Amino acid sequence: MSDTTAERPRSAAQEARIDLSHGSGGRAMRDLVNDVFLSAFANPALAALEDQARIPLADLCVAGDRLAFTTDSYVVDPLFFPGGDIGELAVNGTVNDLAVSGAVPLYLSCGVILEEGFALADLRRIVESMARAAEAAGVQIVTGDTKVVPKGAADKLFIHTSGVGAIPAGVEIAAGRARPGDRILVNGFIGDHGVAILAARGDLALQVPIESDTRPLNGLVRALLDACPQVHCLRDATRGGLATVLNEFAESAGVCMEFEEAAIPVRDEVRGVSEILGLDPLYYANEGVLVAIVPESCADRALAAMRAHPAGAQAASIGEVTAEPAGRVVMRSGFGGGRIVDMLIGEQLPRIC
């Protein structure tokens, strides 16, 4: 196939581009929705072509007693990067924002803002990636929206996904529940997504073989909750990185998060790039990093359960919750010293997700 495409002119399908009529609400939009979205996301709620999905509340009630509802928009640049693309990111990110409440993620929405002239083939590739990610995470994309703006009014493509899920009865996970004595766990390497995006933009003079860690965390959260139903706090460390999540926990609970620098899983390549650029891996965005605060009584069981799951093979216990200094995060180095680690101030890298 590749040798013949090199010799013949690009086919009409390859050159097809989004135009303003695809956002008109009329025939062209309907055809695009049918052709690209409905075929990829195939499910009855979406296929009904109503302005809203309709789902029996009983389907949620069998999974839990509370609705979890979240939203995110995705503006990552570039759209395709090592280890993933904006479509996969948009599904996994919203799945993860549901999962960290302990919810079973169930249904997602998908809205796209397209720049006039965007290649239809790229849209199709992104939507198919969303469909695969949804299947992998066990969720359905049941409602959507398509807007097109004139050339120059948006940069190629933005996606927004919202999600609903059900939180099982008895699960009580909140940032404010961290208590002195609790253990701090992470599921794996930090910084991969940030460095992968940096590398994909060509901002690095050097080649770095790092892929984004984008992945759904709901399976891992389920395994963790099975092993330790009393998990106190869970969050995925996206924008702002691990340092920002730990600060959020510390501030919400009025406790101190104390961790060992040497215990943080960081790949050598990520560490190397960070040293060259003068960036701190603690602030890199991640797309598959789970931070868990668990009571000491089940910390070892929780860690073992995470390590037994594919998304937690590099899980580590990185520190513990202490009483003082309240509201702060303290990093201990090998020399026994400690320094306060603040939230991200300023901006390390725009359009990271």
Interacting residue with its own copies among 79, 166, 198, 224 (CB under 8 A): 166
Q: Least distance to its own copies from the beta carbon of 47, Å?
A: 11
Q: Is the dihedral of CA 234, 237, 241, 244 positive or negative?
A: negative
Shortest Å, Cβ 50 to its own copies: 7
Q: Under 8 Å CB-to-CB from 200, ≥6 apart: which residues?
A: 78, 80, 81, 82
Token pair of 273, please? 């790039």
Nearest distance from residue 268's CB to its own copies, in Å? 25
Q: Does 65 bind its own copies (CB under 8 A)?
A: yes
175 near its own copies (CB under 8 A): yes
Q: Binding to its own copies by residue 142, rule CB under 8 A?
A: yes
Query: For residues 313-352, which are near its own copies according to CB under 8 A?
Result: 342-348, 350-351
Residues 234, 229, 224, 316, Cα dihedral to 10°:
70
Instruction: For residue 54, state whether it binds its own copies (rule: CB under 8 A).
Output: yes
- What crossing angle do the helices spanning 120-137 and 86-99 adopt, rounded to 10°? 30
Q: Taking contact as CB under 8 A, which single stretch among the options 33-41, 144-152, 207-215, 312-320 is the one that binds its own copies?
A: 144-152
Element (H or E) spanning 100, and its range? none
Note whether 144 binds its own copies by CB under 8 A: yes
Which of the stretches 10-18, 48-56, 270-278, 287-295 binds its own copies when contact is defined by CB under 8 A? 48-56
Interface of this chain with its own copies, residues 76 to 95, rule: CB under 8 A: 77
Q: x-or-dash pattern for its own copies, window 244-263, by CB under 8 A? A: x---x---x-----------
State yes or no: residue 75 binds its own copies (CB under 8 A).
yes
Using CB under 8 A, pick the residue from 5, 11, 26, 201 that binds its own copies.
Answer: 26
Supply the minimum distance, in Å, between the C-beta of residue 84 and its own copies.
18
* 101 sits near its own copies (criterion: CB under 8 A): yes
Evaluate the CA torsion angle 46, 49, 52, 55 in order and state its sign.
Answer: negative
Tokens of 284: 């890199």
Nearer to its own copies, 34 or 307 (CB): 34
Closest CA to 341 of 351, 350, 331: 331
Tokens of 316: 């580590």
Angle between helices 86-99 and 218-227 (to 10 degrees): 20
Q: How far is the CB of 105 from its own copies (least distance, A)?
A: 10
Helix H or strand E segment including 115: strand 104-115
Closest CA to 341 of 202, 245, 225, 223: 245
